[in-house]
Amino acid sequence: MPGGADKSMDIFGANWEGHVDKIFEDWRARVTEDDAVLIPGDISWAMYMQDAIPDLRKIGELPGKKVLLKGNHDYWWSSLTKVREAVAPGMQVIQHSAVDLGSCVVCGTRGWICPGCGESLTAEDEKIYHRECIRLELALREAEAVAAGRPVIVMTHYPPLYQQNRDTGFTEIIEKFPIYYVVYGHLHGKGIAARFEGEHHGIPYMLTSCDATDFRLKEIPMPDTQM
């Protein structure tokens, strides 16, 4: 998403040059006002809310409804109330919660590093992981209460599963509910190789990190109607 705070992404590789223009060009070409765009975190490099406003404003000017979730680099993201006050009309925010988009319900939480993902977890990591599992279930229960048979889409920032570790606390919770789709971000560069995409126990998972999608939006195929 936008760099924010004058942060250039080119240091991460030549493919990041002009990444905002690539994303926005594809967005304007493919998204209508009736569509919804899910943004699973890492929205701005800004450290403080007032510095993130220009990035939020740029996203707000694009077509479609937008649903935002906090990523691990969104340090500007303070309280949910303040974020909701800062975003433009047509932008909704979830934080271990759910939003009703009419044709579907989107819910989710940030997530965290999973045990068995190849990284060493500290005691604090374990604590956050278990807390995020609880938050995911809270979000799913909120979605279940309003979905009334409509598709429920789960959005997390961290991967809820990996290619070599497909059964996690997150997937165990997700599989308690009739979930239509799961989207996530976080993985970039060499980390993309650890991704899992496709169906696991009948639920489709999709990685949407911009360098994993060649800076193009990925479409969730909706049943009967489109978002």
pLDDT tens-digit map of 20-52: 999 999 999 999 999 999 999 999 999 999 999
Confidence band, pLDDT 50/70/90 cuts, at residue 89: confident
Cα atoms found within 13 Å of the Cα of residue 111, Cβ hemisphere only: 29
- Three-state SS for 10? helix
Confidence band, pLDDT 50/70/90 cuts, at residue 14: confident
For the stretch 155-183, pLDDT in tens is: 999 999 999 899 999 999 999 999 999 99
How far is Cα 11 from Cα 16, in angstroms, rounded to an integer?
A: 8
**Residues near 150 by beta carbon (within 8 Å), at least 6 away in sequence:** 103, 104, 105
- Looking at residue 226, what is its pLDDT? 43
The yes-or-no verdict on residue 9 having pLDDT over 80 is no
Confidence band, pLDDT 50/70/90 cuts, at residue 227: very low
Task: Single out the residue of 158, 196, 207, 152 nearest to residue 177, CA to CA.
Answer: 152
| Range 66-95 average pLDDT | 93
The yes-or-no verdict on residue 199 having pLDDT over 50 is yes
Task: Single out the residue of 165, 71, 170, 171 nearest to residue 129, CA to CA.
Answer: 170
How many of the other CB atoms lie within 10 Å of CB of 102?
A: 11
Alpha-carbon torsion (171, 177, 179, 183), positive or negative: negative
How many of the other CB atoms lie within 10 Å of CB of 59?
A: 22
How many of the other CB atoms lie within 10 Å of CB of 212?
A: 18
Q: Where are the domains of the chain?
A: 10-212
Task: Single out the residue of 138, 126, 186, 131 nearest to residue 162, CA to CA.
Answer: 186
| Helix residue spans in 64-220 (DSSP H) | 80-86, 123-147, 169-174
Class in CATH terms, 10-212: alpha beta
Residue pair 154/165 in contact by the 8 Å Cβ criterion: no
- Looking at residue 5, what is its pLDDT? 45
For the stretch 111-162, pLDDT in tens is: 999 988 878 899 999 999 999 999 999 999 999 999 999 999 999 999 999 9
Alpha-carbon torsion (129, 133, 138, 139), positive or negative: positive
First to last CA, the chain: 21
